[in-house]
């Protein structure tokens, strides 16, 4: 796969003014969401109630709009090439399942159980810690397609890695949470898990592939490129509207208990940067191409917040500290992950100067025939 080598996000080919100042629009949408949720709570309560198995349907539609451009790029005939990226798959699996849940447990105990304990309700501290652990125990299913798209990630690798994580999640989520929480039995919200996989992977993949086939049949690659150019701004607009909705849903809580939310956000933010940074550095050390290392870092750091919220509510109740902690994870996810996207884009030149990366990219000598 041919790669561009921008020195900063602004240099990405085809990057509009809107994309270049995305962080400003994100900040404005967060403020707008909190304000609208506080002063006009009724519409947000109505939209928030439109959910099935803890999956909010308006947000699901917006996520479709965000991930379809990435999925349209996927050629299933080329999926066999993913085996070339086995190092990236190994790094991501290691971060997702051997590092992230345990690093979050350590950070939660350190910050919530000790450093911030004087400023938190004593009776809710164990519940807050439990919510943070649940949040980190399942890797993201849908939004990683958005992050991968924004970082020029390899789409076949992203889809394969997400599918592999979903299979592992079925077997590993409950034991990991049970181990870290010390519970003998964990109730896995299977309905939420299955519905999320269908909504965020199966259905969008089918729609995207039908669209891709139709475009290629009618106008070939130029037609596909034109439609992708039209879809990209729509994808970013859906991302910003999602931010308004998410912060609008929690506008009242943010206004009423800002200190608790800010304190809960600290270990979440640290673990995102720690896990994405570790995945990125390991990928560079092992000579992984940047188009794989970027989504590997992003998949390694992001969380499956729908599953986490549903699991926290089923285990501890809707009004519990665990449920609030997972909701804070939802609020933190988008702006923090966008900052990680910016970092991996800005550091691309540095990444590709790595000795292992340059060795892996160098053409292999052809052996002479005897």
Ranges of each domain in the chain: 14-358
Q: How confident is the model at residue 13 (pLDDT cuts 50, 70, 90)?
A: very low
Q: In this model, does residue 230 exceed pLDDT 50?
A: yes
Is 14-358 a CATH 1.20.1530.20 domain? yes
- Alpha-carbon span 105 to 86, nearest angstrom: 28
* HSE-up (13 A, CA, CB side) for residue 113: 14
pLDDT digits 0-9 by tens, 261-307: 999 999 999 999 999 999 999 999 999 999 999 999 999 898 887 77
- What is the pTM assigned to this prediction? 0.81
Q: What angle do CA 310, 92, 131 make, to 5 degrees?
A: 25
For position 132, what pLDDT does the model report?
95
For position 294, what pLDDT does the model report?
96
For position 4, what pLDDT does the model report?
40
Instruction: Identify the bridge partners of residue 51 per DSSP, sorted by sequence position.
Output: 56
Q: How many other C-beta atoms can be found within 10 angstroms of the C-beta atom of residue 262?
A: 13
Measuring CA to CA, how many Å separate 80 from each of 76, 90, 156, 157, 287? 8, 17, 9, 10, 20
Mean pLDDT calculated for residue range 157-181: 86
Measuring CA to CA, how many Å separate 232 from each of 19, 216, 229, 274? 10, 18, 6, 29
Mean pLDDT of the chain: 84
Q: What is the 3-state secondary structure (H, E, C) of 8-39?
A: CHHHCCCCCHHHHCHHHHHHHHHHHHHHHHHH
Q: Highest mean pLDDT: which of 98-112, 124-138, 349-363? A: 98-112
Q: In this model, does residue 156 exceed pLDDT 80?
A: yes
For position 11, what pLDDT does the model report?
41
């Amino acid at each position: 796969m041919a790669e561009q080598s921008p020195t900063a996000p602004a240099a990405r080919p085809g990057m509009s003014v809107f994309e270049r100042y995305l962080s400003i629009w994100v900040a404005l949408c967060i403020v707008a969401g909190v304000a609208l949720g506080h002063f006009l709570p009724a519409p947000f309560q109505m939209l928030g109630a439109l959910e099935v198995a803890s999956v909010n349907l308006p947000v699901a539609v917006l996520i479709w709009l965000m991930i379809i451009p990435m999925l349209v790029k996927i050629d299933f005939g080329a999926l066999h090439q993913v085996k070339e990226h086995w190092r990236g798959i190994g790094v991501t699996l290691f971060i997702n399942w051997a590092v992230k849940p345990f690093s979050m447990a350590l950070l939660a105990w350190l910050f919530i159980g000790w450093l911030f304990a004087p400023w938190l309700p004593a009776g809710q501290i164990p519940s807050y810690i439990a919510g943070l652990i649940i949040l980190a125990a399942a890797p993201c299913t849908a939004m990683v397609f958005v992050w991968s798209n924004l970082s020029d990630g390899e789409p076949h690798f992203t889809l394969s890695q997400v599918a592999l994580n979903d299979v592992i999640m079925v077997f590993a989520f409950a034991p990991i949470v049970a181990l870290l929480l010390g519970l003998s039995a964990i109730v896995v919200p299977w309905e939420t898990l299955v519905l999320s996989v269908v909504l965020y992977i199966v259905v969008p993949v089918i729609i995207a592939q039908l669209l891709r086939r139709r475009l290629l049949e009618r106008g070939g690659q130029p037609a596909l490129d034109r439609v992708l150019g039209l879809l990209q701004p729509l994808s970013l607009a859906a991302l910003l509207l999602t931010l308004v909705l998410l912060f609008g849903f929690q506008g009242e809580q943010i206004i009423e208990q800002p200190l608790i939310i800010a304190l809960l956000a600290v270990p979440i933010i640290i673990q995102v940067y720690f896990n994405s940074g570790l995945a990125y550095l390991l990928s560079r050390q092992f000579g992984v191409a940047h188009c794989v290392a970027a989504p590997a870092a992003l998949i390694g750091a992001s969380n499956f917040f729908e599953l986490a919220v549903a699991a926290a509510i089923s285990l501890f109740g809707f009004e519990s500290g665990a449920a609030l902690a997972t909701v804070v994870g939802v609020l933190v996810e988008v702006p923090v992950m966008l900052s990680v996207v910016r970092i991996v884009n800005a550091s691309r030149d540095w990444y590709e100067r790595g000795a292992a990366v340059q060795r892996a990219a160098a053409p292999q000598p052809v052996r002479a025939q005897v």
